Amino acid sequence: MTMLDDAPQQDGPGPVRHPLLRCVDDISSALKDVEGIDPLFAPVEVKREVLIELTRAIDQAEALRMSVMANSHDVAEADGARSVGSWLAPHTRNNPAAEQTAEHLAVDLQQHYPILSSALARGTANVAQAKVIVRCLNELRRLEHMTPELLHQAEEHLVTECPHFDPSDMKNLSDRILEVLDPDGFDDAELKKLETELRKARAEARLSMRKRGDGSTDIRARVPDSLAVRLKTILDAYTSPRHEANGSGSSGAGGPDGATGSAGSLADGAISSRYRDPDTGERLPRERLLGEALCAFLEGQDPNRLPKHGGMATTLVITTEFDTLTGQLGIGTLPDGSRLAASDVRRLACTAQILPAVLGGDSAVLDLGTRRRLFSVEQRLALAQAHPTCQAAGCSIPSAWCEAHHRTAWSQGGPTDLANGMLLCSYHHQRIHDDSYRVKHLAKGDVRFNKRT
């Protein structure tokens, strides 16, 4: 018998599968076993357990994948790729940026944070928590006074808390980790950190606008947290659902779902119409309310308090036909070529610093308008003194948030005086220029709306 005869015999032809490949085989085989099984008919307790355990298993599988990524630079080099992530993306039809982000996280875990890496592999930490912790530890590593011992303590402490906190709570805990581990050095380090974050946030402030081609524009912005909170506070004020059933506007503990005051103090049917879709009557989602609030906030800005250019307050020029401004049909054109419905032109003409370039039938410029068309600050104050809230019947939006409107349109000879003025919130200002609504003027100066059938 030769030595070859004494060698271990394999089951089946070919080389022995690597343990990593056998793991992938087992996962693939297990998934094939449940192909075609409709979870709809599974008992509640089964679905409950599957959701929890499968989510944990996915995180553990991702931990294994990242561990392989962190050790696969030879794969990228062999195929002439810049990185493992850029090599992997086209093979799996995934987003290259997402794969490269995963690779960066994998390398950090492999090279710097073995405790967290081990917790991921065991399933006692998930990937979302790991991203938060790695970001925190990387920031700590850049601090001048940070020692390897203190960094190790921070990693150990954060990993220990993973079973008790979600990623959001982990972020809060991470922000205070130095306060727990190094109280003496916390204040100085925290100050430097916040100053660095603010400088970075300011430098990265961005705003872009992209027309969708359907009459709307997508606005994408990045601003410092403090300004985002300020904007949210302003918009929350515009969307505050603190309305009692009797429309008195008394305070309550308003929430985003429209509940106010004590439980049941505001019946669903008594919710102000500004929180409902004007066509369906359905309650508007929070995102829609914030969008409406942003529109109201922008339209409510006093043009005379905005920065000046060209020697005058910020001005918007709208080119429109004379019949559009005085009648019910037609369009207006903004400087960038955007077109507005006649109702929008007339509504904006009430409050915005607009120069209407009114064209006659032969397209000759007849009138460039005057700023005397706008109500003065003193007139607005007088109107607010007489009417503390929006003059739409039952609306309790404060007059400070309202827009001044001409009862008889300025374009039709209506004077800019107190007798011809009224205050309407953005929502009702749009309704009064909407031809699908009838407007009834009440004895006390208020107005009531009814949708035409």
For residue 307, the model assigns a pLDDT of: 60
- β-strands 316-321, 354-359 pairing: parallel
CA distance 420 to 409: 9
Pick from 144-158, 162-176, 278-292, 366-380: least confident? 366-380
Question: Mean of the pLDDT values across residues 115-142?
Answer: 92
pTM above 0.75, yes or no: no
159-178 as b/e, with b when 16 or more CB fall inside 10 Å?
bebbeebebeebbebbeebb
- The residue type at 376: S
For residue 320, the model assigns a pLDDT of: 58
CA distance 40 to 237: 43
Higher confidence at residue 326 or residue 150? 150
- β-strands 206-211, 217-222 pairing: antiparallel
CA distance 128 to 62: 11
Write out pLDDT tens, residues 32-73: 999 989 999 899 999 999 999 999 999 999 999 999 999 999
| pLDDT greater than 90 at residue 267 | no
Place of tokens 């309305």: 243
At residue 379 the predicted structure's pLDDT band, cuts being 50, 70 and 90, is confident
Write out pLDDT tens, residues 2-24: 333 444 445 556 678 999 999 99
Of 106-120, 220-234, 327-341, give the range with the top mean pLDDT: 106-120
At residue 372 the predicted structure's pLDDT band, cuts being 50, 70 and 90, is low
**Torsion angle of C-alpha atoms 129, 130, 133, 134, degrees rounded to 10:** -150
What is the CB neighbour count within 10 angstroms for residue 394? 14
| pLDDT greater than 70 at residue 375 | yes
Distance spanning both ends of the chain, measured CA to CA: 101
- Angle separating helix axes 148-161 and 114-122, nearest 10 degrees: 20
| pLDDT greater than 90 at residue 242 | no
DSSP 145: T
CA distance 151 to 182: 11
DSSP 248: -
| pLDDT greater than 80 at residue 116 | yes
At residue 302 the predicted structure's pLDDT band, cuts being 50, 70 and 90, is low
Write out pLDDT tens, residues 406-420: 888 887 878 888 888
Burial of 289 (0-12, 13-18, 19+ CB in 10 A): buried
* Proportion of the chain above pLDDT 70, given as a percent: 70
* Proportion of the chain above pLDDT 90, given as a percent: 26
- The residue type at 76: A
At residue 184 the predicted structure's pLDDT band, cuts being 50, 70 and 90, is low
At a CB cut-off of 8 Å and minimum separation 6, what does 212 contact? 218
For residue 298, the model assigns a pLDDT of: 78
Question: Mean of the pLDDT values across residues 289-297?
Answer: 81
Angle at 54 between CA 51 and CA 58, to 5 degrees: 135
Cα–Cα distances (Å) from 43 to 38, 39, 40, 50, in that order, read 11, 9, 8, 11
56-84 as b/e, with b when 16 or more CB fall inside 10 Å?
eeebbebbbebbebbebeeebeeeebebb
Residue 389, SS3 per DSSP: strand
Residue 208 pairs in a beta bridge with 220
